[in-house]
Chain A
């Protein structure tokens, strides 16, 4: 009964979404408070219903109810509990259910945490969000129903793909989806702004925390996904410019631009068109990503053509929402009132440049991702656009962004002083240059590596120069500096950390050129040199897992004759799907990592080994964590705190009473 209750809850959520899509909107347009009042409880109820449905599916997976097609195809009774749970979203139907769950979650969050918003704006936002929810609920129920049943349930399931039986699956998709789907709410805000005509600075403030939340999660989701690929796929790569990865990178680029653009709109009432456009773009790219990943078009254009139902459904959703919002956009464009005026060289100007560069780089990724698909559909020719294309197009676009980032931070609003800003980053430039030279002397290698590392150092230092300038000064006591540091808006700290995070990631990426790779055959007890370390396989032995057997090579990592770590690379065989998966042995030493993989043992007891030394590689993901931390700092800025308007107003009152002495 639990399963069918979950199923019915999902259907009920659809019915409610339809009502919620119409009544509050009508209320907002007619100025009727009663109709608008429906939106908040309805949004929360919708989340509860979809949540119930998700729990029911999880229950079915946990108790191995193979009367559900979804459970039969993706689960196995012997699977460990954590993978029974994460297996819920490790397949198409379940992941789409997670998709609508997060969609409803954002609706509910807006309903609960936006008391300071005008009622009509909130009502429209929630109505638009409900349309999206209704569209995807229809998609789930009619093309990808996770609750479809089997009349003759088998006794055992087909198990989850072993590659997915990993803690990574438990974390990566939920993070990524919160980011991905989070842009639905900024889209709803944009649509609501266009419908209600409230396209102003206040709107930008209401939307900003939601953009930030999505951006933080998307950043973490992408980083987590890349680390997962890195340690599971077994050859130490972490980014393959694969369409699935690009599908998450594109909304990230658009979302990053949106974040900056919305800041300008909030502060200066400028860049309205940009901001609304980026809000629409970010979600459109999320939808496109969903289409690419979920329609099967990536596996083969022809496979898609033979069973196009799902793909066409998502395509229809895509066209309706993008087309509809762009039509609204065109309709409202003439009525957009010009906002704050600014000179080309100013914080605003710098952010326009940022928008341009980010959207252009987004466009290159877009082309690189879709061109092969279009070509295959037209001519049947299969090509793959890989790293060389993206390195040549995406790279050159990102270098000016990095160069301009610290300078942009120095520029004042309205009218900036480019020369002054340039002078203030001299220190960062110097440190970058010295760092590059030092690294070249130390590590050698292709010139591009130290140059990019120098650029990264420049960015890391440059991110904090502006803050340092405001805090530090000659003969300023430490206590005063600390007080100043605390007094700075958290969003300023957030900016600095997020930018520095990009620098860290860039450093890690650049340093990959210094990596060492060895593919060799070795015996137990052989000493193998890799980079600055020696590695020795101590013994090889079998081990039993709950649903697999594995051969483990216990391996010691030494440096100059001293033990520094042990790693246990292994090779797992999963009997149900008759698949073998390698489990890399990884140890982080400093910021670098030793990465080791084994293949089958040969008859003479020797092992095929892949061994890597990757200096500074951990910085790639550490940088993403720092970026997300910056986002969190910015989110905690008091302007964005919940119920901000009233409290901020009260504080302003106090401030006014205190200040007249000035």
Chain B
């Protein structure tokens, strides 16, 4: 196909050369130079009449121009003598030279095997996925067509979670639960995704899911932890301390959640239960008392841990107005005005597209006296 186009183009170009060769007649109009010198003599007259040339100079100039005119008319060449041999040689030459040169050069530099590859076309027909996004896009379109593919939902859900797309993750877990039937693991995962999506707030929907987990598996630590957290967020401080304390006491001492649970208790101003296998020589009561003796530092540290986590998450994905507001408020509570101001500025930048959110950040900054 490409070669057909090339052949046509070559033909047209050769024709553009051969056509005048064949058509030219040996007609010779008068030499345009003669007309030029005639008009020049007129011009000298005009220049003289407006004083650009003195009359004597004008006469001299006219004489010069006339002399040149005669020279030109004299040596008018006898153009137009056509030699048919020369024309034929020229015709053959261009007939051969143009395709020969074009082909030789094009074969060296050209890429006739390449088709055009506009980006839109390539995106549409891209065959093997090259990365997670591509794979995800393909699975998504597959799931859109086959929403009852529970395995598909189960596979895609963790991918969403890793990419930070928590809402889609929650949705995918929910679909998997719908198709494959609910399991405590999936229910936990779905609820956890909802919590992440709400920026660590245990929403009522998430809470009911955790409660559902507890109906089949009464001592599920994940569900218990989040339900305790829900209490804390609802303002039931003592209830939360009790729940956390019970969770810590019920769990083996080397459970990975011991540490965060205990931090929560301290943060809430409670006393964590004694570690069952306390190191020898250290009376448990004393340890508890020591902790209580310096609670403010630890408490601060725990809060700092949370705030830092929030800040890190927002630095990665800043499209979360609530998160920013919480962060700014937290810094201001921690008496860190510098950090608070930086947070305000980062929030403005990150939320640049969202005017309403920027305004809320500005309002808060003004309210907390962080402006200027």
Which A residues have a C-beta under 8 Å from some C-beta of B? 1-5, 7-9, 11-12, 14-16, 18-19, 23, 26, 30-38, 40-42, 44-45, 49, 60, 63-67, 77, 116-120, 141-142, 145, 147, 149, 153, 155, 198, 200-202, 205, 267-269, 339-340, 412-415, 470, 523, 542-544, 549, 601, 603-605, 639, 644-646, 648-649, 652, 655
- If A60-B116, A415-B57 touch, whether A5 touches B9 (CB-CB below 8 Å) is yes
Name the distance in Å between A1's Cβ and chain B's nearest Cβ. Answer: 5
Known pairs A603-B338, A605-B371; list 14 more (Cβ under 8 Å): A4-B114, A14-B102, A32-B81, A33-B25, A49-B9, A63-B119, A65-B117, A67-B116, A149-B111, A155-B122, A205-B36, A269-B64, A415-B54, A542-B352
**One of B32, B79, B117, B119 near A31 (C-beta < 8 A):** B79
In the complex, the answer to whether A12 meets B372 with C-beta atoms within 8 Å is: no
Name the distance in Å between A421's Cβ and chain B's nearest Cβ. Answer: 13
A391 to B295, CA, bound (A): 75
In the complex, the answer to whether B21 meets A648 with C-beta atoms within 8 Å is: no
| B90 touches A (CB below 8 Å) | yes
In the complex, the answer to whether B98 meets A16 with C-beta atoms within 8 Å is: yes
Which residues of A lie under 8 Å from residue B98 when comparing CB positions?
Answer: 12, 15-16, 19
Q: Nearest 9 A-B pairs (CB), nearest first?
A: A63-B118, A542-B352, A15-B101, A64-B119, A34-B24, A37-B20, A37-B24, A645-B35, A202-B36
In the complex, the answer to whether A30 meets B86 with C-beta atoms within 8 Å is: yes
Q: Could you jot down 25 A-B contacts, CB within 8 Å?
A: A4-B110, A7-B110, A11-B101, A11-B109, A14-B102, A15-B100, A15-B101, A16-B98, A32-B79, A32-B81, A32-B86, A33-B25, A38-B21, A40-B20, A64-B119, A153-B117, A155-B130, A200-B72, A202-B32, A413-B53, A414-B57, A603-B341, A603-B342, A645-B35, A648-B39
Closest B residue to A466 by beta carbon equals B52
| B50 touches A (CB below 8 Å) | yes
Closest B residue to A56 by beta carbon equals B116
Closest B residue to A141 by beta carbon equals B109
**Segment among B10-18, B153-161, B230-238, B266-274 that sits at the interface with chain A:** B10-18
Which residues of A lie under 8 Å from residue B78 when comparing CB positions?
Answer: 31
Which residues of A lie under 8 Å from residue B31 when comparing CB positions?
Answer: 118
**One of B27, B39, B353 near A645 (C-beta < 8 A):** B39
In the complex, the answer to whether B105 meets A118 with C-beta atoms within 8 Å is: no
Contact residues on B (Cβ < 8 Å of other chain), bracket: 35 or more
- If A38-B20, A116-B32, A118-B33 touch, whether A31 touches B38 (CB-CB below 8 Å) is no
In the complex, the answer to whether A200 meets B68 with C-beta atoms within 8 Å is: yes
A605 to B366, CA, bound (A): 13
Of A4, A49, A66, A339, most buried by chain B (CB within 10 Å of CB) is: A4
Q: For the complex, would chain A's binding face be called helix, strand, loop or mixed by DSSP majority?
A: helix
Which residues of B lie under 8 Å from residue A35 when comparing CB positions?
Answer: 21, 86-87, 90
**One of B16, B109, B130, B345 near A145 (C-beta < 8 A):** B109
In the complex, the answer to whether A523 meets B372 with C-beta atoms within 8 Å is: yes
Which residues of A lie under 8 Å from residue B53 when comparing CB positions?
Answer: 412-414
In the complex, the answer to whether A12 meets B10 with C-beta atoms within 8 Å is: yes
Q: Which chain B residues in 68-125 approach chain A with CB under 8 Å?
A: 68, 72, 77-83, 86-87, 90, 93-94, 97-102, 105-106, 109-112, 114-120, 122-123
In the complex, the answer to whether A413 meets B120 with C-beta atoms within 8 Å is: no
Which residues of A lie under 8 Å from residue B77 when comparing CB positions?
Answer: 31, 120
- If A41-B16, A201-B40 touch, whether A11 touches B110 (CB-CB below 8 Å) is yes
Name the distance in Å between A39's Cβ and chain B's nearest Cβ. Answer: 8
Which B residues have a C-beta under 8 Å from some C-beta of A? 1-2, 5-6, 9-10, 12-13, 16-17, 19-21, 23-28, 31-33, 35-40, 42-43, 47, 50-54, 57, 60-61, 64-65, 68, 72, 77-83, 86-87, 90, 93-94, 97-102, 105-106, 109-112, 114-120, 122-123, 130, 338, 341-342, 345, 348-349, 352-353, 358, 371-372
**One of B21, B54, B122 near A37 (C-beta < 8 A):** B21
A38 to B20, CA, bound (A): 6
Which residues of A lie under 8 Å from residue B42 when comparing CB positions?
Answer: 648, 652, 655
A485 to B94, CA, bound (A): 54
Which residues of A lie under 8 Å from residue B43 when comparing CB positions?
Answer: 267, 639
Of A33, A40, A155, A340, most buried by chain B (CB within 10 Å of CB) is: A33
- If A15-B98, A412-B53 touch, whether A34 touches B39 (CB-CB below 8 Å) is no
**One of A414, A470, A645 near B60 (C-beta < 8 A):** A414
A38 to B23, CA, bound (A): 10
Which residues of B lie under 8 Å from residue A145 when comparing CB positions?
Answer: 109
In the complex, the answer to whether B9 meets A649 with C-beta atoms within 8 Å is: no
In the complex, the answer to whether A202 meets B57 with C-beta atoms within 8 Å is: no
Name the distance in Å between A206's Cβ and chain B's nearest Cβ. Answer: 9
